[in-house]
Structure 1
Amino acid sequence: MNPGQIITVIVATIVCIVAGSFVHGALRPVRVTATTDLAASPAEVWAVLADTSAYHEWNPSIIESSGTVAEGERLDNTVVFGDGTMRFTPRVLVADPGRELTWRGSTAVPGLADGTHSFVLSPLPDGGTRLTQEETFVGALVPWTTGMLRAMEPEFVAVNTAIGERAAQLQQSRP
Structure 2
Amino acid sequence: MRETPVVTAVTRISAPVEAVWRVVVALDQYAQWHPVLALDAKAEEVAIGAEVPGRVSGGDATAQEVTMRITEVEPPRRLVWEGGSLDAILGRHSFVLTQQPDGTTELTDSEEFFGANAAELVPALDQLKETYGRYGAALRARVAALSG
TM-score (norm 1): 0.76
Q: Deviations over 1:64-107 (max 9, x none)?
A: 11122211101112112374322211110112221011001114
Quote the offset at 1:34 in angstroms.
0.1
Aligned counterparts, 1:53-72, within 5 A: 53-62=28-37, 64-67=38-41, 68-72=45-49
Does residue 14 of structure 2 align to residue 39 of structure 1?
A: yes
Q: Which residue of 1 aligns with 2:65?
A: 87
Q: Is the 8 A contact 2:36 2:59 kept in 1?
A: no
| Count of paired positions | 144
Measure the CA separation in 2 of the matches of 1:49 and 1:122: 13
The equivalent position to 2:99 in structure 1, one of 119, 123, 129, is 123
Verify: 1:136 aligned to 2:112, yes or no.
yes
Amino acid at match of 1:77: G
After TM superposition, where is structure 1 displaced by more than 4 Å over at least 4 residues in a row? none
Extract unaligned runs of 5+ from structure 2: none
SS in 2 for 1:151: helix
Higher strand share: 2
Q: TM-score, normalised by structure 2?
A: 0.89
Structure 1 or 2, whichever has the larger Rg, is: 1
Aligned residue number for residue 20 of structure 1: none
Corresponding position of 1:73: 50
Bigger mean CA offset, 149-158 vs 47-56: 149-158
Query: Retained in 2: the 8 A contact 1:42–1:121?
Result: yes
What pairs up with 1:109-120 in 2 under 5 angstroms? 110-120=86-96
Question: What is residue 27 of structure 2 aligned with on the other side?
Answer: 52
> Structure 1, unaligned stretches of length 5 or more?
1-23
Q: Is the 8 A contact 1:35 1:133 kept in 2?
A: yes
3-state secondary structure, aligned to 2:47:
coil
* Partner residue, 1:13: none
Over residues 116-152 of structure 1, what are the superposed CA-to-partner deviations in whole Å (9 max), with x where a residue is unaligned?
Answer: 0000000001111000000000111112232235421
Counterpart AA for 2:130: P
97, 106, 109: which one pairs with 2:75?
97
Which protein is richer in helix relative to its size? 1
8 Å Cα contact 1:40/1:167 also seen in 2: yes
